Amino acid sequence: MTSTSGLDRSSAELLLTAARLMENRYNERLRELGLTHASLRILATLDQLGRNTQAGLAKNLRLQPQTLGATLNRMEGQGLVLREPDASDGRTILVSMSPQGEGAYTKAAGIEAELEAEAGTGVEGLRESLAELVETLGAQRWDNPSGAGPEPAKLPEHSVTA
């Protein structure tokens, strides 16, 4: 494929550029709702799983608990999530979506479809290919007990900080 500048671009470069462009547009729309991509991922996970431990959320989001904690602090300050000690184990913190978080999540749910429509045709097939790529790379990063493939420490962690 040739870019508008006439230079050949690798698939990796095109993927990274497309991701940055989509992320910038996505974050612009989320900012209108007082959200970030990171906070939306957390709200989406809470919507799927319901109330969960901070450690459970970190595992499902494939993040370090400390990284998630910083974002949850901000979200709690915004009134998007609630954190409370687990009644059966006071050392464990349970996280749930607040009513304000539920409202923001509902409003944000349509943004992805709007952005896909703006991007044009072919997005559905691209989503399937990207999901496979993410699954493969994620397995190499997080599910690599046998040591096959790249070492997990060599692949970057997802960032959820705003």
Class in CATH terms, 11-130: mainly alpha
- The structure's pTM equals 0.66
Cα distances from 37 to residues 41, 92, 125, in angstroms, run: 6, 26, 22
Looking at residue 73, its amino acid is N
pLDDT-based confidence at residue 40 (cuts at 50, 70, 90): very high
d(CA 54, CA 65): 7
Q: What is the pLDDT of residue 41?
A: 93
| pLDDT surpasses 90 at 75 | yes
Closest CA to 143 of 62, 44, 53, 49: 62
d(CA 157, CA 18): 19
Count how many Cα atoms sit within 13 Å of the Cα of residue 88 in the half-sphere of its side chain.
2
- The radius of gyration of the chain's CA atoms, rounded to the nearest angstrom, is 18
| pLDDT surpasses 60 at 69 | yes
d(CA 4, CA 147): 41
pLDDT-based confidence at residue 126 (cuts at 50, 70, 90): confident
What's the average model confidence in pLDDT over 148-156? Answer: 42
pLDDT-based confidence at residue 162 (cuts at 50, 70, 90): very low
Q: What is the pLDDT of residue 56?
A: 92
Q: What are the residue ranges of helices labelled H in 9-162?
A: 11-31, 37-49, 54-61, 65-78, 99-108, 111-119, 123-142
